Structure 1
Amino acid sequence: MRATGLTHQEDTETREPILDTVDRVSELCFGLFMALTFVGAVSAATAGEDAGRKMLYTALGCNLAWGLADAVMFLVRTLTNRGKQLTLARTVKNEPDAAAGARALRKALSKAMKTLVADSELELIRARIVATTTLPHRPRLLLEDYIGAAGVFVIVVLSTFPVALPFVLFKETSTALTVSRVLTLAMLFCSGIALGHHAGFGGWIAGFAMVALGVVLTIAIIALGG
């Protein structure tokens, strides 16, 4: 048995994915919005034979920068959350008063969970933490965290191409703009369906809602000078 009380097989089966559906869809939509606003701004100010390539490079450069920033912040958020969990575990483990340790666990629960978890269940968790023989000295990033950060970076960067690449492939700006918008709306629709299924309600409704939200957000971003 491991220090956590789980076998390797159990630990593998209960381990969460590096990036869940919400993470992936959020980063994809963020990249789409960034590319869409940059393409709109550059297309209005750029003309000439290389206008399409300039738009692609500008949007790609923007999303490379923001993809890097998002990846770094993903690591910062992961390390911060892990440190918070480690602090809680140490508090419970070092607390000689069992009732106080259980209260610390309850305080860490979300508002919705506080009404669902009984004191007896918290006591079982507290006892399991106390029985843990080893705790890390400090929160650390694991290989899977860096993989997750790389995934964030790749998602943001790849989201550039459906928006900006049509301006390279099509000479007519109006055609390229139509294809770019259709691809963007299709990706937003698919993202909404993914979120809808993840949340447990209608995928089609969520898909159309995401398209509507994307249109409103893009208009707002452009209106605010984005």
Structure 2
Amino acid sequence: MEDITNSKRLLDPMDRAEGILFGLIMALSFTCSISIANTHRAEIRQLLVGAISCNLAWGLVDAVMYLIGVLAQKNRNKVIFDAIQNSSETDKVRKYISDALPPIVASVIGTEGLEQIRNKLMNLPEVNRSVRLTGHDIKKALAIFLLVFISTFPVVVPFVLIHDTMVALRFSNLVAIVMMFLCGWSVAKYVGFNKWKMSISMILIGIILVAITIALGG
């Protein structure tokens, strides 16, 4: 299991796996449709351009939604902090603090621990707590965008390099399966799950989601 105290990385394995898997599913929904219709090279080219354009758009959507979520969370934190500092009701303040903590942490520290946190928060000096995006937030949003977008290319490149469409399709699917396997392995290593079970599960989940996406016309 990876060291969960390491916060230097921009994206943790869960974030990376989510971005890559999403990009793969969107790309495969285009490339796998090649096997359904008897497509010519010109049509294949259009499908590949469509896959790249789709992931470009969805990468941008993911990045923007991430930034909106960050702003919303920061504003919520500010509201909670202001409520803690301005409230004279001790029990209500402890409830604010308890709700902001992970449940297992809140249950362990108890009333005494919550009171210590309350006292420290009450004595914090006044600082500018304006809600705004930081450079780190922008970098993480950019990383999310790039993950979704770049994950298209390993699936698309075989159709550019291999003239035989069916061979290219098989190779493309193989690359996608390997990428899903590696995503599952990375996530399992991070959270402490069985690596083989998680990797195989990630492949099965990916295949099912691709099938559903294609069936729904995505």
The alignment status of 1:175 with 2:167, answered yes or no, reads yes
- Against the structure 1 CA distance between its residues 134 and 124, is the aligned structure 2 distance closer, same or farther, given a 3 Å change threshold? same
Q: Which has the larger displacement, 39-48 or 91-100? A: 39-48
**Which residue among 83, 98, 103 is the counterpart of 2:90?**
98
Task: Give the Cα–Cα distance (whole angstroms) in 2 for the partners of residues 85 and 45 of structure 1.
Answer: 52
Gaps of 5+ in 2: none
Equivalenced residue count is: 214
Q: Deviations over 1:158-184 (max 9, x none)?
A: 100111111111111110000110000
> How does the TM-score come out when normalised to structure 1?
0.86
The alignment status of 1:27 with 2:26, answered yes or no, reads no
Please name the residue that 1:64 is paired with.
56
Please name the residue that 1:36 is paired with.
28
Q: Deviations over 1:178-201 (max 9, x none)?
A: 011000000000000111111112
Please name the residue that 1:187 is paired with.
179
Q: Which has the larger displacement, 49-58 or 133-142? A: 49-58
Task: Give the Cα–Cα distance (whole angstroms) in 2 for the partners of residues 42 and 175 of structure 1.
Answer: 12
Task: Give the Cα–Cα distance (whole angstroms) in 1 for the partners of residues 37 and 124 of structure 2.
Answer: 62
What is the Cα deviation at residue 113 of structure 1? 4.0
Gaps of 5+ in 1: 1-12
Correspondences of 1:1-226 after superposition (within 5 Å): 17-41=9-33, 44=36, 47-226=39-218
- Against the structure 1 CA distance between its residues 96 and 135, is the aligned structure 2 distance closer, same or farther, given a 3 Å change threshold? farther
> How does the TM-score come out when normalised to structure 2?
0.89
Task: Give the Cα–Cα distance (whole angstroms) in 1 for the partners of residues 45 and 217 of structure 2.
Answer: 23
If asked which structure has higher relative contact order (CA below 8 Å, sep 6+), I would say 2
Task: Give the Cα–Cα distance (whole angstroms) in 2 for the partners of residues 121 and 38 of structure 1.
Answer: 54
Task: Give the Cα–Cα distance (whole angstroms) in 2 for the partners of residues 142 and 131 of structure 1.
Answer: 26
Contact persistence 1:167–1:177 (CA under 8 A): yes
Task: Give the Cα–Cα distance (whole angstroms) in 2 for the partners of residues 49 and 103 of structure 1.
Answer: 63
Task: Give the Cα–Cα distance (whole angstroms) in 2 for the partners of residues 137 and 86 of structure 1.
Answer: 7
- Against the structure 1 CA distance between its residues 14 and 209, is the aligned structure 2 distance closer, same or farther, given a 3 Å change threshold? closer
One-letter amino acid of the counterpart of residue 69, structure 1: V
* Sequence identity (%): 32
